[in-house]
Structure 1
Amino acid sequence: MKKTRYYPFERNRYFYGKLLTVRDFESEQKYFNDKRRMMNRLLHGSGVLTGLQVVAVDEKSVSVEMGAAIDALGREIVVPSPMTLKLSMMDGFSNNEYAKNVYLCIAYDEKEKEPVHAVANSSVRSDEINDYNRVLESYRLFIREDAPDPANLPLANLTDQTVVLYQDSHVRVLQTTPRYVNPGQLFEMKLRFEKTLKAGRISFHYELAADRVEAIDGNSIVFEEPQDEQESEYEMKVLLRADSSVGVKATIGVQTSTAVLKLDDKQLELQAQAVGEVQIIGDAVRERLMTDFVKQSLEASLEAPSEPCIYLAKICLIQVGPTYVIESVEQVPFGEYVYNSSMMYRLAQASEYRDETSGQFVTKSKVKTLAPGQPPEFKVNFNKAISELSFDLGIPAGGGSGIAGIVSGVVSIPIEPFTKISVSPFGKATKSFFSGEIAHGLGEGNVLIITSLEESSGDAFSDILSSGERVYGGASDVFKGSEFEPDAPEVKIGTIAYPQKGTFRIGVKVQQTSEPSNVRVRWWAYSAEMASPASSGGSGSGSGSLDEALSAIREAASAGSDAE
């Protein structure tokens, strides 16, 4: 590692009659350059700022798009225009082995330009002396054929520790574990397999050598490359649990005598194994990581490789006869990016929004009519992928009269024109309207009430297509701007029940409107005394009491899995 001594800072002091020499002007430039570069390194880190995408333009050449980056010494790297290069013509590309992965790197470079006659030197030398009038801050692109040591990547060991379990020119196996965990905490160990596309199918079996941690699914670790796909990189996660001790160090590695690493039928020999270490601490992991970051020394913060560069792309090559072709290009394979403060603010806002909405889900309902005399059906299903909670109701013919603890009906709520009532500075005017008390006919006690927006278009063509009558469940505004948008004003529907009276009331909140209208609301009420499958002869899985239905809803919402 290289420690660049930007400090202590020293600047020129000017006075009348001072003789300015080359040393003074160079000192002036160095003062401002060193300050800026040190702040770049400490405030922003190193990596790609914008652009610099690498694109394969043909089987042997790539294009580097214009962009900017900061290297590990805080120097700015700017590519002002796209560059197209043939891999075999680039520095670092060898022609003795094509079937491998190579890495396209960019580094800061300076080039002298504008040669001029050096007048001051002509007095000491008789021949003509030339020097350069400008220094162009530029860059150079080159190839590295070996993957970097994980420890040399920016902030590599801040939150995780990555050790190399095996490495040769075709295969690399990495183990990543967190630096800190709490006692008894579940955490993941990640195994990453990097290989060339023609290296053969990889498999790795071994027994975990672990102290103060235990594997949830046992110590036998098995990885087999899938038969139906072939990639250059795979990742496997192993779930571990930390010991209950505090202030101790756990170790995770491979029992070498049990390890079997193969490429097809060829077995690879594992050498002395690196071991990952995990600290088991009692305080908050996030706080410990922040403390480690802010307490590291200035010299440690400014450490950099002796030849700093940024890995712009991993390029997978395939040998074809005596030459090669580019199979794929992976952008910035080691995540060397720099995010500015505006971007981090946006990401924080998005994260807060996800946290606020992670527990929310959309509800929808579907009703079908059963033959008279059949027991009612009530099914609840939660789709985690789209956060949708659906109710499937089967009501026997004549269900409006209250058969088997389920009743249904429709109420029409008049909407009067209004303007500027309950308006917020950032929204439209809204007003709430309410129905009268509705007797559900299920007697006293708690009931579950579900509502949906109902409308009928009255259009003959829609009636022919059986789409004239619509019942909107959940948030009807999701259809806004589509052919399915409801004709009724945008509404929110709420209910209030009176258990001791056996009645309930429906309220709707609508946005500003200038025309009188009616909002039709379809409602279903379910009694806690709903017939169970055992007493009613059974109606298939999913039927049951109101308590069971509510329990299913709670389970679906909290566990995020399908429930009926």
Structure 2
Amino acid sequence: MKKTRYYPFERNRYFYGKLLTVRDFESEQKYFNDKRRMMNRLLHGYGVLTGLQVIAVDDKSVSVEMGAAIDALGREIVVPSPMTLKLSMMDGFTNNEYAKNVYLCIAYDEKDKEPVHTVANSSVRSDEINDYNRVLESYRLFIREDAPDPASLPLAGITDQTVVIYQDAHVRVLQTTPRYVNPGQLFEMKLRFEKTLKAGRLSFSYEMASERIEAIHGATIMFQEPQEQLESEYEIKVLLRADSTVNVKGTVGVKEESAILKLDDCQLDLQEQAFGEIQIIKEPVRERLMSDFVKQSLEASLESPSEPCIYLAKICLIQMGPTYVIERVEQVPFGEYVFNSSVMYRLAHSAEYRDETAGQFVTKSKVKTLAPGRPPEFKVNYNPAMSELAFDVGIPVGGGGGIGGIVSGVVDIPIEPFTKINVSPFGKPSKSFFSGEIAHGLGEGNVLILTSLEETSVDSISDMLANGERVYGGSSDVFKGSEFEPEAPEVKIGTIAYPQKGTFRIGVKLQQPSEPFDVRVRWWAYSAETASSGSSSGGGDRLDEALSALREAASAGSDAE
């Protein structure tokens, strides 16, 4: 029967001298069971409460983990210990075809236990003098090889309407649309494709037929299953807009004789035309849905299938020679879950927090120096997974070829921790790290490049003394052991130039293992050709002085070059 009556409720009335019979004790149990089950159904719904995960043990067997559930009649189902079963030995599994999807279901079941001798029955029926002392509230596991009708699932049509566009043993195409929309509202129609793994490559195209509903990106709907990775389920979304008329019914479906559904090169025949109905209403959709739910009759709220069960898993099988193997197990394919009040509260609180933090981003910026004459650069990268905005800014140094053919800039070279190190003949560990190619902007030809180690201290006292920024020229180990010793580990700096490219690269050699950090290197580049071409009257002396100073610095800081 589709509707089980829990009501009206009757309970025993006790008085002194009352003769209690089997009927009285059964009524006592039925009273409390029916009330509890009705509250389970109306307050909590139905589905998996906890556990009941289905795991493939081998190619032909699955294990159902311990857990609990409530069925569509409000009855509790408890699996107290894991259960391992071979599919071919389960009820409902047929061996007529192996390339298919099957559904593992669980249902409430009662079993009599503890047989006892009954004296009262022996005087009536001498051949049946035994009865059972207990009833075990248990369960049964079985296989269903056909997917359920979407309309048969309890509470399936509260917010959406799902219609079957096509269905056979290998393929099922479903269309889901909302029950209510507002005039002019944009909404999504979902097309879901379910298939067996070895059914072939699926393709589907059709012209949408609609009334008072408009397709935003055209009425031609197309889906092509990708070749690289075949799945058993796919879903696409189609953006639609409702008519501006109020209190009318819109429809969406497949235009007659326009659908082309193929598995590889085999075309399937779509004969029945199914349309989804959408009510266009003026009031807020959420208020209308809540009103429909609370105003429905008690019998409608307690309506359930004739054989209620819960679909624990969809098991995808593929044919392997004369038998089958389990390819994949998908948990609770139709979302039959029950969430308790504490979980719902936490989820709602989490949603409120996400709403509060929506639109807030973590920003990161990176500034680099460009060669003179190059245009400034500005790039923005957004990582939606981390809500992070990264800004990369490139600023040209100076203008033209710099003053007297000299340009300058800085580069940060990241140093990573290392465990495998190179050991010199003197036993000192070292490892080298390099920058990318740097355009100095002085054109092609030979250039003189000088480098120095640059540090910025975060010490407030150093800032007060105006020595928070330090640029070490030459060999920085000269200051080792003094108050001017660099904070960073000891490094050596070298350069390599590419005259034909007009670029160079900086390398640093770390002399000892350390934590990860960035080495900031200040560089100067000088080109005699650029200086000569850019000099004016009386500028030659200044260029000679600059070149002499750079050469002296180069000879003094050969370790840093």
- TM-score, structure 1 length as denominator? 0.72
Equivalent position of 1:191 in the other structure: 191
Match of 1:28 in 2: 28
- 1:369 corresponds in structure 2 to 369
For residues 509 and 5 of structure 2, the distance between their equivalents in structure 1, rounded to whole angstroms, comes to 75
CA distance in 2 between partners of 1:485 and 1:125 (Å): 92
Q: Does 1:458 align with 2:496?
A: no
Residue 111 of structure 1 is matched in structure 2 by: 111
CA distance in 1, matches of 2:126, 2:366: 99
Name the SS of the counterpart of 2:6 in structure 1. Answer: coil
- Alignment pair present for 1:134 and 2:134: yes
Shift of 1:326: 0.9
Aligned position for 2:78: 78
Which residue number corresponds to residue 219 of structure 1?
219
Q: Describe the shift of the 1:206–1:394 C-alpha distance in structure 2 as closer, same or farther (beyond 3 A).
A: closer
Which residue type is aligned with residue 76 of structure 2? Answer: E
Query: How many pairs align?
Result: 430
Query: Partner residue of 2:551?
Result: none
- Secondary structure, aligned partner of 1:346: helix
For 2:488, the aligned partner's letter is: D
Separation (CA, whole Å) in 1 of partners of 2:486 and 2:392? 24
Deviation at 1:55, TM superposition (A): 0.7
Name the amino acid aligned to 1:459.
Answer: A
Q: Structure 1 CA distance, aligned partners of 2:99 and 2:3?
A: 37
Match of 1:90 in 2: 90
State the match for 1:266 in structure 2.
266
5 Å-filtered alignment, 1:508-547, equals none
Q: Post-superposition shift, 1:377?
A: 4.0
**Correspondence 1:248 to 2:277:** no
Are the structure 2 counterparts of residues 172 and 459 from structure 1 closer, same or farther at C-alpha, using a change threshold of 3 Å?
Answer: same
1:154-169 counterparts in 2 under 5 A?
154-169=154-169
Aligned to 1:124: 124
**Which deviates more, 57-66 or 385-394?**
385-394
Question: Take 1:457 and 1:47, find their aligned partners in 2: how far apart are those partners?
Answer: 66
Distance 1:20 1:457, change over 3 A: farther
Letter in structure 2 aligned against 1:210: S
- DSSP 3-state at the match of 1:303: coil
How far apart, CA to CA, are the structure 2 residues paired with 1:241 and 1:483? Answer: 57
Cα distance in 2 for residues equivalent to 1:105 and 1:377? 60
Q: Where do 1:144-183 residues align within 5 Å?
A: 144-183=144-183
Summarize the alignment of residues 276-425 of structure 1 with structure 2, pairs less than 5 Å apart. Answer: 276-372=276-372, 376-397=376-397
Contact 1:117 1:128 in 2 (8 A): no
Instruction: Return the letter of the residue paired with 2:119.
Output: V
State how far apart, in whole Å, the 1-side matches of 2:384 and 2:293 are. 37
Query: Structure 1 residue 280: deviation in Å?
Result: 0.9
Deviations along 1:82-136, one digit per CA (max 9) or x if unpaired, are 0010111110111111111110000000000000001111222345600000000
2:529 matched to which residue of 1? none
Q: In structure 1, what residue type is equivalent to 2:319?
A: Q
Distance 2:384 2:14 in 1: 70
- The aligned amino acid for 2:207 is E
CA offsets, 1:138-197, max 9 Å, x none? Answer: 000000010000001121001110000011111111000011111111111111111111
Q: Superposition RMSD on alpha carbons, in Å? A: 2.9
Are the equivalent residues in 2 in contact too, given 1:69–1:76 (CA < 8 A)? yes
What one-letter code is carried by the residue in structure 2 that aligns with 1:333?
P
CA offsets 1:500-520 (integer angstroms, 9 cap, x no match):
xxxxxxxxxxxxxxxxxxxxx
DSSP-derived class of the 2:69 partner: strand
Q: Contact 1:256–1:270 at 8 Å: present in 2 too?
A: no
1:8 aligned residue: 8
**What letter is aligned with 2:370?**
L
Q: 1:375 to 1:233 in 2, by over 3 A?
A: closer
| Aligned 8 A contact 1:54 1:64 in 2 | yes
Counterpart amino acid of residue 370 in structure 1: L
2 CA distance for matches of 1:53 and 1:171? 26
| Secondary structure of the corresponding residue to residue 158 of structure 1 | coil
Checking the alignment, whether the CA contact within 8 Å between 1:179 and 1:279 is kept in structure 2 is yes
Using the TM superposition, give the Cα deviation of residue 202 of structure 1 relative to its aligned residue in structure 2, in angstroms: 1.4
Q: C-alpha displacement at 1:362, in angstroms?
A: 1.1
Residues 451-476 of structure 1: per-residue CA shift (max 9 Å, x gap) = xxxxx9813247889699xxxxxxxx
The 1:197/1:457 distance shift into structure 2, 3 A limit, reads: farther
Q: Is the 1:115–1:130 contact (alpha carbons within 8 Å) kept by the matching residues of 2?
A: yes
Segment of structure 1 superposing worse, 53-62 or 117-126 = 117-126
Amino acid of the structure 2 residue aligned with 1:264? D
Give the drift of 1:47: 0.2
Q: What is the CA-CA distance between 1:223 and the residue it aligns to?
A: 1.2
* Contact 1:73–1:302, Cα closer than 8 Å, also in 2: yes
Q: Structure 1 residues 250, 14: CA separation in 2 closer, same or farther (over 3 Å shift)?
A: same
Q: What's the counterpart of residue 235 of structure 1?
A: 235
The residue type paired with residue 342 of structure 2 is S
Q: Deviations over 1:379-417 (max 9, x none)?
A: 444444432222323334479xxxxxxxx9x9999879x
Q: Counterpart of 1:208?
A: 208
Letter in 2 for 1:206: Y
Distance in 1, matches of 2:159 and 2:126, equals 63
1:297-333 CA-partner distances (Å, limit 9, x unpaired): 1110100000000000111111222211111111100
Aligned 8 A contact 1:216 1:241 in 2: yes
Q: Give the distance between the partners of 1:236 and 1:105, measured in 2 at CA.
A: 27
Q: 1:485, CA displacement in angstroms?
A: 9.8
Deviations 1:39-74 (A, max 9, x none): 000010000000001111011111100000000000
Q: Say whether the 8 Å CA contact 1:154–1:336 is kept in structure 2.
A: no
1:470-489 aligned at under 5 Å gives the runs none
Give the 3-state SS of the residue equivalent to 1:304 in structure 2. Answer: coil
Partner residue of 2:500?
Answer: none
> Structure 2 unaligned runs (5+)?
400-409, 411-454, 465-484, 494-506, 519-561
CA distance in 2, matches of 1:175, 1:253: 8
**Corresponding residue number in structure 2 for 1:52:** 52
Change (3 A) 1:34 1:323: same
TM-score of the superposed pair, with normalisation by structure 2? 0.72
Q: Measure the CA separation in 2 of the matches of 1:131 and 1:305.
A: 31
User: CA separation of 1:463/1:391 partners in 2, compared to 1, >3 Å: closer, same or farther?
Assistant: farther
Contact 1:103 1:312 in 2 (8 A): yes
CA 1:18 to 1:56, structure 2 compared with 1: closer, same or farther past 3 Å? same
What CA distance in whole angstroms lies between the structure 2 residues aligned with 1:67 and 1:372? 70
* Residue in structure 2 matched with residue 17 of structure 1 by the alignment: 17
Residue 484 and residue 411 in structure 1: after superposition, are their counterparts in 2 closer, same or farther (change >3 A)? Answer: closer
Amino acid at match of 2:335: G
- Ranges in structure 1 where 5+ consecutive residues have no aligned partner: 400-407, 417-433, 436-455, 469-481, 487-564
Amino acid across the alignment from 1:132:
Y
AA paired with 1:232?
S
1:38 aligns with 2:38: yes
Question: AA paired with 2:40?
Answer: N
- What is the CA–CA distance in structure 2 between the aligned matches of 1:457 and 1:23, rounded to whole Å? 94
- The code of the aligned residue for 1:164 comes to V
For residue 386 of structure 1, give the secondary structure of its aligned residue in structure 2. coil
